[in-house]
Chains A and B, each alone.
Chain A
């Protein structure tokens, strides 16, 4: 997924708000993950301390990233695995392809991986005549629908069960066309059956990685379905694709972050399967892959180090920020136009594809601050969105009218007397326009607001005037 529709965010958002089916799906998000997260955290008194510890581990790791990556690499090699450093998406795709070709692979199974989405791996491999099957149920559903994920941990959150049934009937041939597929259970059982055939036929299994552990040369996946485990165990070759910042120093450090990951994501105490994979199968082992490869992808991350966006590299992709974001909750993930939606996407996407392309995203925020409040890694997401807005302004990317408006306001704000005079007049004028309804339905230059909702009218005086009156009354 290299092409973005992020420049069209405003139109995407508008369409999403008018999409009844999507709005029904997003309604489920308003409870679900959020309530479960709250309940899980209430059970763990040390949660805030764990957040601090998790943040500190990642900060320490990022400050020593070269050392931990080379230690990780050395330990992968010592255990019989391979590490491939890839500067960008193209190099990562070519490296995966080369591994597949060397094994004369026909079929590739995929565990869920956002990096794979980032580098557009499926479409690329399919063009090379490889059969690619997503094994995570949500990813499988959207693969059949030929669309990108709309959420980083629940990729098919925008899809209804009736739509899943339609996709299954269209794809799973040779079955009774009138078979019941009304309930999630029936859909899951069919997917499980279909997927079993794929598992036993796979040549190469590709998974992502939630962590890379420097101490042992281990990659870790966190899953609930068990699909990732079957993908990486039944295939001849296991490829783990991970970006640089996934590395942590030790098993203990991974465990600390694991304690905040599932709780923040799905509200589980721990996901069903947390799998630590180190090297290929050992000589005496009866199963497991013959080869183990790690793709270490940079794709713009090393250039976030040393900038105001370095903290974003602490992100563990739990999705708590989007689960709690009023903007994401209103427009869903596809409107963001690239791989990573929600607040974390609004910060990360401009770093990876450029603020010229994704400049709308940091503006898609009400600055309510909920994302930072729930982020287990304490990433100051709103602050970073403001940094992007500054960059956007510096690069003259916003509309000319907005630029002029902000410059005019900045000049006014530096002339206190004039500012007070002008705002005093404005407050009185707006009160008059508001009339008895105390709301304004149309206002020149403010149609962006008033087209959609009324502007509450001020009650006639500025804050400074009210303050002065109140102080005078106190003295009297």
Chain B
């Protein structure tokens, strides 16, 4: 590992901080953070949250679907986990995609009965030749139809970005109204101040408008984003979601 002290002479650190303190009209040298800073970091307040997402859960599901479809994702609601593999198979056939699928090595995905289909499956990171991936989600946010995906040993990040087609399984119970609810869930799940290497919000497939401002899907990430929304009310899933 590179020794940071050899790269960044502490002189710049203290010079920059010194200028900041001086120009803010404060005394030189480190000082304890005021109470409002300490409190804000320890108990982050929620700011303005749009009313749009703060609705009953069944309406949140509908809003999530609508918002995701508005940004060129496709969404299919299925009744239970048993229907996931069939839906993956159906979607790939419908879009003329190869029946070869790279799975996130996560029990909620690899534990499904893939033998029911003719799909060829394997699990792990995505490589240059993987055309289709299936991953779980940590949550979905109704406000903008965004998926929340965390990197972990079970969820290699490359699966979200390299394949042409990214299929995400999210459960109805994981859909919330606002981003703020996701951060509360994140803190409950991994502890305050702790984040995975990457916490990704996905709102539709990859796109660009860089050539004459014309919208094109599939710039460098997935060309297609398909969301399988599983109605898991009263269901025990095959693993812990995420």
Interface residues of A (CB under 8 A from B): 25, 28, 32-33, 44-46, 49-50, 52-53, 57, 60, 63-71, 75, 79, 82-87, 91, 95, 98-99, 102, 135-138, 141, 154-157, 159-161, 164, 184-185, 187-188, 192, 195-196, 199-200, 214-216, 218, 224-227, 229-230, 233-234, 244, 249-253, 255-256, 258-259, 266, 268-282, 284-288, 291, 293, 296, 298, 302-303, 305-307
Partner of A69, one of B17, B156, B158: B17
Known contacts A188-B219, A272-B204, A282-B197: A251-B183 contact under CB 8 Å: yes
Q: For residue A227, which residues in chain B have a CB less than 8 angstroms away from its CB?
A: 219-221
Are B203 and A270 in touch, CB under 8 angstroms? yes
Distance A268 CA – B201 CA, assembled complex (angstroms): 14
B13 CB to nearest chain A CB (Å): 4
Q: For residue A266, which residues in chain B have a CB less than 8 angstroms away from its CB?
A: 209
Are A255 and B213 in touch, CB under 8 angstroms? no
Known contacts A225-B207, A226-B221, A286-B156: A298-B16 contact under CB 8 Å: yes
Taking residues whose C-beta sits less than 8 angstroms from the other chain, chain B's interface range is 35 or more
Distance A293 CA – B3 CA, assembled complex (angstroms): 11
Partner of A215, one of B20, B49, B157, B193: B193
Are B23 and A303 in touch, CB under 8 angstroms? yes
User: For B1, B25, B195, B216, which residue has the most chain A Cβ atoms within 10 angstroms?
Assistant: B195
Are B144 and A50 in touch, CB under 8 angstroms? no
Distance A154 CA – B50 CA, assembled complex (angstroms): 28
Are B220 and A135 in touch, CB under 8 angstroms? yes
Q: For residue A293, which residues in chain B have a CB less than 8 angstroms away from its CB?
A: 2
Are B211 and A250 in touch, CB under 8 angstroms? no
A7 CB to nearest chain B CB (Å): 27
Are B219 and A137 in touch, CB under 8 angstroms? yes
Distance A52 CA – B153 CA, assembled complex (angstroms): 40
Are A67 and B33 in touch, CB under 8 angstroms? yes
1/0 contact string of B66-88 vs chain A (CB within 8 Å)? 01001100000000000000000
Q: For residue B197, which residues in chain A have a CB less than 8 angstroms away from its CB?
A: 277-282, 285, 288
Select from chain A the residue with minimum beta-carbon distance to B49. Answer: A46
Are A284 and B221 in touch, CB under 8 angstroms? no
A110 CB to nearest chain B CB (Å): 13
Are B52 and A44 in touch, CB under 8 angstroms? yes
A122 CB to nearest chain B CB (Å): 18
Distance A266 CA – B212 CA, assembled complex (angstroms): 14
Q: Is the interface of B mostly helix, strand, loop or mixed?
A: loop
> Which of the 9-residue segments B39-47, B113-121, B167-175, B226-234 touches chain A?
B39-47
Q: For residue B16, which residues in chain A have a CB less than 8 angstroms away from its CB?
A: 85, 87, 244, 296, 298, 302
A213 CB to nearest chain B CB (Å): 9
Are B156 and A287 in touch, CB under 8 angstroms? yes
Distance A324 CA – B162 CA, assembled complex (angstroms): 36
Q: For residue B153, which residues in chain A have a CB less than 8 angstroms away from its CB?
A: 282, 284-286
1/0 contact string of B171-205 vs chain A (CB within 8 Å)? 00000000110010010000001111111111111
Partner of B23, one of A199, A251, A274, A305: A305
Q: For residue B157, which residues in chain A have a CB less than 8 angstroms away from its CB?
A: 229, 233, 285, 287-288
Q: Does B21 contact A (CB under 8 A)?
A: yes
Q: Does B210 contact A (CB under 8 A)?
A: yes
Q: For residue B45, which residues in chain A have a CB less than 8 angstroms away from its CB?
A: 252
Are B204 and A102 in touch, CB under 8 angstroms? no
User: For A68, A234, A281, which residue has the most chain B Cβ atoms within 10 angstroms?
Assistant: A281
Are B44 and A229 in touch, CB under 8 angstroms? no
Are B33 and A64 in touch, CB under 8 angstroms? yes
Are B179 and A255 in touch, CB under 8 angstroms? yes
Q: Does B151 contact A (CB under 8 A)?
A: yes
Distance A195 CA – B151 CA, assembled complex (angstroms): 23
Are B202 and A272 in touch, CB under 8 angstroms? yes
Are B47 and A85 in touch, CB under 8 angstroms? no
Q: Does B37 contact A (CB under 8 A)?
A: yes
Distance A32 CA – B212 CA, assembled complex (angstroms): 10
Known contacts A229-B200, A272-B71: A286-B124 contact under CB 8 Å: yes
Partner of B44, one of A138, A196, A253: A253
Q: Does B90 contact A (CB under 8 A)?
A: no
Q: Does B240 contact A (CB under 8 A)?
A: no
Known contacts A65-B20, A270-B144: A287-B158 contact under CB 8 Å: yes
Select from chain A the residue with minimum beta-carbon distance to B179. Answer: A255
Distance A171 CA – B207 CA, assembled complex (angstroms): 23
Are B8 and A83 in touch, CB under 8 angstroms? yes
Are A298 and B19 in touch, CB under 8 angstroms? yes
Distance A256 CA – B146 CA, assembled complex (angstroms): 15
Select from chain A the residue with minimum beta-carbon distance to B14. Answer: A85
Partner of B48, one of A50, A154, A224: A50
Select from chain B the residue with minimum beta-carbon distance to A94. Answer: B7
